[in-house]
């Protein structure tokens, strides 16, 4: 059987998101708004399959066909008759639930591949003897032939997401290296194009020169549209001895369905800000314009305190090995008023608390842009995983001048981070009860500080296209060197583009550090209702949780590549920033910590990240119904089997066609294509 690092255990935790009460309190028009936004998010989330691995779309299509023809209980009878044990069938259910939860066959947290924990030949018998195979024998056999080997393969390069020899990614063609990624970023910067909604495909021309296709995500392909700001960008370029061609149309049929439901949601928008926001998102997804998405994000920031909150687009760059391309993500949620009131008090205290941070005032924004900060109960979160909190948009220019929003996902916190005592590792016995009692409350405090004052603090020093600076070069002193500022961001440069591979994890570490630092502040603890001994326990458990999390994170370190798979901003000092980052991120066997040896212990005792079952919404006449599912692998599978009742087979066909159209980019020159679906 496979190394336990690459399987999901049969006893993996599964929890259901509870949003019933928050949904019940919505007005009929708010429910319709939430429903159509949810549909848009779920459709868009399918693009993540195409952003993960070459085989992920085929695996998804195969599993969806199986469980649409037979639900988990019906397929179980067939599997047992084919000779599977109960444990092996449960392993298959867990694998399927994992693919659906991560939108692919790589873990969203840690970027490690996971494979079915049962013999390949047994799974093949189940699949080829299933009702789905009876109904569509050629299609099911073709899907299995295309993805079966890759589903189980743990060839070294396929074990992790990465670029070149370091792993597999579909953000780049298989022949791209980190040097190609850097060249492409320089090209994008030169054309003032964002990488967020792009993928990069490299081919070698007849003259031996590399030719790069920068493909934008959009409904439209190459046909010109009057007055579109994207038209002038869609052409060929010569750049530093290489040919670049900017095209669009990536994920087109998927984004078409996203746009259709955003149009329907517009009819139920509660404010003009929401209408204008959705209009710009539609423009963005139709034409491939990040500028339009930025405009939509401006309206989103201005839409203060909505009952139904949402955001959608190519957002987080964690899984791009270069750190610039955004994974599709969409969420819809309802406000939790009680917890939101505490966050409002924290926002009101933010300007005062920012002064407590250990850097000079010149390193903060000239004016703190008071954000929305709400606690939400999630109805839908489509993508590769569900976070505990969000601070968005990620566009640096907007964050510096327009502001941002913070959200804490309350019903996610309630289930995803609950811990059973018997599964608590690496803690003293006397700390375990304290940890269980205070982990939730301390995490509320940490998430609040992390999102609002971690991600929300700090200023980027920028020189604009006219040469003007947003800081005083004469008077601002670097506290690390005692000298004037020597480096800054030029026009068009961003945190992600400059710090690339370490940008996301670096920023998360910065936000966590702010949370740890400010959780010691009595004023902060008082806002959340903690005083005296309780406040001391919250602080202790918050620090204890962070130390334990650091130890558990050794699971995500790859000794072979000396790299982490996931995990000095203002000045844009990349060299100094990397040196600091790499110093703290080094994993060696140097005493007294001996982290490399500790990693073996962590792997032996690791607990798999929980799977979360989400509800569906269903439109019946003019009424929106909430469909909930049991907290089990089978329940999660049922939720996906019922997610696309009108067009499930069509979507699977779309996904496999899109994957097949680009399959050559991940084939070795000597490799012949497998059977295609």
Q: Which of 451, 507, 512, 646 is catalytic?
A: 451
- Output the six-digit token pair for 384: 């590769």
C-alpha 178: how far from chain center = 21
- pLDDT of the residue at 670: 35
Please say if the pLDDT value at position 141 is more than 50.
yes
Task: Place 285 in a pLDDT band, splitting at 50, 70 and 90.
Answer: very high
Q: In whole angstroms, how far apart are CA 266 and each of 33, 35, 404? A: 8, 12, 22
Rounding to the nearest 10 degrees, give the CA dihedral for residues 215, 220, 222, 228.
-100
- pLDDT of the residue at 673: 35
Q: Apex CA 264: angle with CA 260 and CA 265, to 5°?
A: 115
Q: Which of 81-85, 125-129, 270-274, 578-582 has the lowest mean pLDDT?
A: 578-582
Region 448-470: what's the mean pLDDT?
92
203 is catalytic: no
- Output the six-digit token pair for 336: 């939790």
Calpha distance 390→297 (Å, rounded) = 14
Region 101-108: what's the mean pLDDT?
97
Calpha distance 288→230 (Å, rounded) = 7
- pLDDT of the residue at 675: 35
pLDDT tens string 604-621 = 777 888 999 999 999 999
Region 300-326: what's the mean pLDDT?
95
Calpha distance 328→632 (Å, rounded) = 26
Region 48-58: what's the mean pLDDT?
98
Q: Spell out the residues 6+ positions from residue 124 whose beta carbon is closer than 8 angstroms to its own.
A: 144, 148
The tally of CA atoms less than 13 A away on the side-chain side of residue 270 is: 18
- pLDDT of the residue at 565: 52
Whether residue 508 is annotated as binding a ligand: the answer is: yes
Percent over 70 (pLDDT), the chain = 96
Region 390-409: what's the mean pLDDT?
90
- Output the six-digit token pair for 469: 């600076």
- pLDDT of the residue at 668: 61
Task: Place 665 in a pLDDT band, splitting at 50, 70 and 90.
Answer: very high
pTM: 0.86
Calpha distance 33→269 (Å, rounded) = 6
Whether residue 136 is annotated as binding a ligand: the answer is: no
Whether residue 455 is annotated as binding a ligand: the answer is: yes
pLDDT tens string 530-572 = 999 999 999 999 999 999 999 988 887 877 666 665 446 678 7
Calpha distance 269→273 (Å, rounded) = 9
Calpha distance 21→41 (Å, rounded) = 22
Please say if the pLDDT value at position 389 is more than 60.
yes
Please say if the pLDDT value at position 1 is more than 90.
no
pLDDT tens string 437-449 = 999 899 889 999 9
- Output the six-digit token pair for 363: 């390193």
pLDDT tens string 255-266 = 999 999 999 999
Which residue, 444, 448, 439, 446, is CA-closest to 418?
439
Calpha distance 117→393 (Å, rounded) = 39
- Specify the DSSP class assigned to residue 451: I
Q: Which of 33-37, 257-261, 460-464, 612-616 has the lowest mean pLDDT?
A: 460-464
């Amino acid at each position: 059987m496979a190394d336990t690092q690459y399987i999901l255990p049969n006893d993996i935790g599964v929890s259901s998101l509870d949003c019933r009460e928050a949904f019940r309190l919505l007005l009929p028009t708010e429910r319709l708004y939430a429903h159509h936004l949810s549909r848009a998010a779920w459709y868009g989330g399918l693009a993540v399959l195409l952003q993960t691995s070459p085989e992920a779309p085929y695996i998804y299509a195969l599993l969806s066909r199986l469980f649409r023809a037979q639900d988990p209980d019906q397929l179980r009878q067939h599997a047992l008759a084919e000779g599977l044990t109960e444990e092996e069938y449960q392993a298959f259910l867990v694998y399927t639930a994992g693919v659906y939860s991560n939108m692919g066959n790589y873990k969203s947290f840690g970027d490690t591949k996971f494979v079915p924990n049962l013999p390949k030949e047994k799974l093949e018998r189940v699949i080829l003897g299933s009702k789905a195979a009876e109904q569509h024998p050629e299609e099911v056999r073709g899907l299995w032939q295309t993805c079966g080997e890759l589903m189980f393969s743990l060839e070294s390069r396929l074990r992790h997401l990465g670029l070149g020899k370091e792993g597999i990614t579909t953000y780049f063609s298989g022949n791209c290296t980190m040097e190609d990624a850097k060249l492409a970023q320089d090209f994008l910067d030169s054309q003032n194009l964002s990488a967020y909604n792009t993928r990069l495909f490299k081919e070698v021309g007849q003259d031996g020169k590399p030719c790069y296709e920068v493909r934008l995500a959009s409904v439209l392909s190459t046909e010109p549209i009057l007055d579109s700001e994207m038209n002038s960008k869609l052409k060929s370029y010569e750049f530093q001895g290489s040919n670049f061609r900017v095209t669009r149309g990536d994920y087109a049929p998927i984004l078409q369905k996203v746009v259709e439901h955003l149009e329907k949601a517009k009819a139920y928008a509660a404010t003009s800000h929401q209408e204008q926001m959705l209009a710009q998102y539609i423009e963005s997804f139709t034409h491939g314009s990040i500028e339009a998405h930025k405009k939509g994000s401006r309206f989103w920031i201005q839409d203060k305190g909505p009952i139904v909150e949402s955001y959608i687009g190519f957002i987080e760059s964690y899984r791009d090995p270069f750190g610039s391309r955004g994974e599709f993500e969409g969420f819809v949620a309802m406000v939790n008023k009680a917890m939101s009131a505490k966050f409002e008090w924290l926002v009101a205290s933010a300007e005062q608390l920012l002064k407590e941070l250990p850097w000079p005032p010149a390193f903060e924004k000239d004016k703190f842009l008071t954000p929305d900060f709400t606690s939400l109960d999630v109805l839908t979160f489509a993508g590769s995983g569900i976070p505990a909190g969000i601070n968005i948009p990620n566009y640096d220019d907007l964050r510096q001048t327009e502001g941002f929003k913070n959200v804490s996902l309350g019903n996610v916190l309630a289930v995803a981070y609950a811990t059973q005592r018997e599964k608590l590792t690496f803690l003293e016995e006397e700390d375990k009860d304290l940890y269980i009692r205070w982990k939730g409350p301390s995490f509320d405090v940490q998430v609040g500080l992390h999102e609002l004052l971690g991600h929300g603090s700090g200023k980027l020093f920028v020189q604009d296209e006219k040469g003007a600076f947003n800081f005083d070069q004469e008077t601002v002193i670097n506290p690390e060197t005692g000298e004037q500022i020597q480096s800054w961001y030029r026009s068009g440069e961003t945190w992600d583009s400059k710090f690339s591979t370490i940008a996301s994890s670096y920023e998360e570490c910065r936000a966590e550090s702010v949370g740890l630092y400010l959780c010691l502040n009595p004023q902060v603890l008082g806002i959340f209702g903690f005083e005296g001994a309780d406040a001391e326990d919250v602080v202790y458990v918050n620090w204890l949780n962070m130390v334990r999390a650091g130890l558990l994170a050794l699971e995500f370190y790859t000794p072979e590549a000396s790299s982490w798979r996931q995990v000095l901003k203002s000045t844009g000092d990349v060299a100094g920033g990397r040196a600091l980052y790499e110093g703290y991120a080094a994993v060696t066997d140097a005493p007294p910590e001996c982290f490399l040896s500790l990693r073996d212990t962590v792997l032996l005792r690791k607990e798999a990240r929980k799977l979360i079952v989400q509800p569906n919404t269903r439109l019946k006449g003019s009424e929106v119904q909430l469909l909930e599912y049991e907290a089990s692998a089978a329940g999660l599978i049922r939720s996906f089997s019922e997610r696309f009742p009108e067009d499930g087979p069509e979507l699977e066909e779309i996904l496999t066609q899109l994957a097949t159209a680009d399959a050559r980019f991940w084939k070795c020159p000597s490799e012949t294509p497998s059977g295609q679906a």
